[in-house]
Amino acid sequence: MDVTVALGHFCDKHGPCVLLCTEKSKDIPKEQILSQSLVCSACESLPPDTVFTCQDEHYCYITSRASLNTNVAHTLKDVVLRSLSIEVVEEKGKKSGTIYFGDDTRGHIISHVFNIRDSLARGFRRKFCIVVLGNHQIPLLNHYNFIEDNLRHISEELQQKADNSTSAKETTAYRRDFEQFQNASKVQLRPLPQLVNEHNVFAHLHMWFVFLLRAKIYRNVPHSVPQCPVECSSVNMLRELGKEMPENVFQTILYCTLTGITVTECNTDILKHFRQLLPKKFALPASGKSCEVFKKDNVWSCKFDATFPINIPRLISSIEVAVKNPDISDTTLSYHLMDLIMHWFSNACVLSWATNSCDELMRLLEIRKCDLPLLAYWIPQSGGCIEMCTTDWFKKFADGKSSESN
């Protein structure tokens, strides 16, 4: 990410202006872009033909009065103007602090605004800002605290030096002179080195700004995005099966697939479309109840050797409603099903991590009795505690309801 750090101030004669900026470059430029703006005693920083430079194994870091890039130079003028004249900065009752503003067109900015004592300035204080200009929002805001802490440290150091260099007696004399000549051209505002009583203050700021630019937070770090544990890739086939099958058959296959009941098929190849509704790497049951699906004379039927529940898990109901909704496109349906499944996969993971009684947690997650068959299969698959999964949640749920009614 390209980043520029700049110092600006509010001049009583010229308004907001840039004092200096630091940026990185592959090479030291042969020609310096000279600033054409008016310069008074208060706006003095580096001479137009002077730059501070240092370099590491990758870049050269250059501090100059104006940016080497004309577009960046104009942007910095607007940023300083906005920081000192437009944006309102209030932090704990003080008119100083750090703000963020910007967009993808003009850049993203973190600006720290502060005051330095100046007995010849309006209000006896001069307004300054340090701005960090970047072209990407997320990397900048991800390290907002790091940037703010360093900008605050720089400003506090400058304020302390300015306070130490001005005694109470000097302040009274400056105020008298200011009141006498406030409407005359003889008043000469002082540059920053005089305010803080440090001749090499701009070299000091150069090193601070280089430190900020060299921070690894601005560098692109290669990373891999984790894969989603759910992939609904053939929702169109699921829709076709929902139209072809009787409602009770489609619902039974959904129920058995999502609750871990073995489903077998005879002369068909449809189960893979239902198993996509399970998170990846879920193990199929090796024993227990079973359901057989077959197609005879173009009529789908199933044989389920158990009693089908009156109230089925809500995930199954939601999937059934979504699949049979003709107003949802296949692409949208795919992501919608992934969202529904991930919600219940998340619930299963949370319950698997819990080590104590889960009654209160299940109430907070709004889990109902009808959802327990699904969670009884999903929790062990989520890498959770096996003891939790072998608990008779039906009995615990019923006992809990009985105690509440009593």
pLDDT tens-digit profile of 10-60?
887 778 888 899 998 887 766 655 555 556 766 777 777 778 888 888 888
The secondary structure of residue 293, as a DSSP letter, is E
Which one, of 104, 103, 126, lies nearest residue 17 by Cα?
126
pLDDT tier, 362 (very low <50, low <70, confident <90, very high otherwise): confident
Residue 367 has pLDDT above 60, yes or no: yes
Mean pLDDT of the chain: 80
Amino acid 289: pLDDT? 79
Within a 10 A sphere around the Cβ of 175, how many other Cβ atoms?
A: 13
List, in order, residues 6 or more apart from 404 with CB less than 8 Å away. Answer: none
Amino acid 39: pLDDT? 65
pLDDT tier, 161 (very low <50, low <70, confident <90, very high otherwise): confident
Average pLDDT over residues 96-104: 86
Residue 393 has pLDDT above 70, yes or no: no
Of the ranges 41-55, 169-183, 380-394, which is most confident?
41-55
Average pLDDT over residues 233-240: 89
Average pLDDT over residues 336-346: 92
Amino acid 5: pLDDT? 93
Residue 354 has pLDDT above 60, yes or no: yes
pLDDT tier, 385 (very low <50, low <70, confident <90, very high otherwise): very low
Average pLDDT over residues 302-330: 90
Amino acid 132: pLDDT? 92
Who has greater pLDDT, 371 or 386?
371
Amino acid 384: pLDDT? 44
List, in order, residues 6 or more apart from 294 with CB less than 8 Å away. Answer: 265, 266, 267, 268, 300, 301, 302, 303
Average pLDDT over residues 68-73: 86
- Residue whose pair of structure tokens reads 């109901």 in the numeric block: 317
Amino acid 184: pLDDT? 47
Cβ atoms of 235 and 323 within 8 Å: the answer is: yes
Least confident of 36-40, 96-100, 117-121: 36-40
Amino acid 194: pLDDT? 83
Residue 317 has pLDDT above 50, yes or no: yes
Amino acid 88: pLDDT? 72
Who has greater pLDDT, 187 or 293?
293
Amino acid 387: pLDDT? 39
Cβ atoms of 119 and 146 within 8 Å: the answer is: no
Amino acid 166: pLDDT? 67
Long-range interactions of 364-368: CB distance < 8 A, separation 24+: 368/314
- State pTM to two decimals: 0.53
Q: How far is CA 220 from the centre of its chain?
A: 15
Amino acid 344: pLDDT? 92
Amino acid 222: pLDDT? 56
Sheet containing 299-304: give its strands across: 262-266, 290-296, 299-304
Amino acid 178: pLDDT? 53
Residue 80 has pLDDT above 80, yes or no: yes
Rounded distance, CA 401 to CA 379, Å? Answer: 23
DSSP lists the bridge partners of residue 108 as 102, 134
Question: For the CA atoms of the chain, what is the radius of gyration?
Answer: 34
Alpha-carbon distances of 118 from 167, 339, 384, rounded to whole Å: 12, 59, 65
Which one, of 170, 161, 169, 154, lies nearest residue 196 by Cα?
161
Rounded distance, CA 47 to CA 50, Å? Answer: 5
Vertex 306: Cα angle to 305 and 310 (nearest 5): 140
Share of the chain above pLDDT 70, in %: 80
Cβ atoms of 142 and 182 within 8 Å: the answer is: no
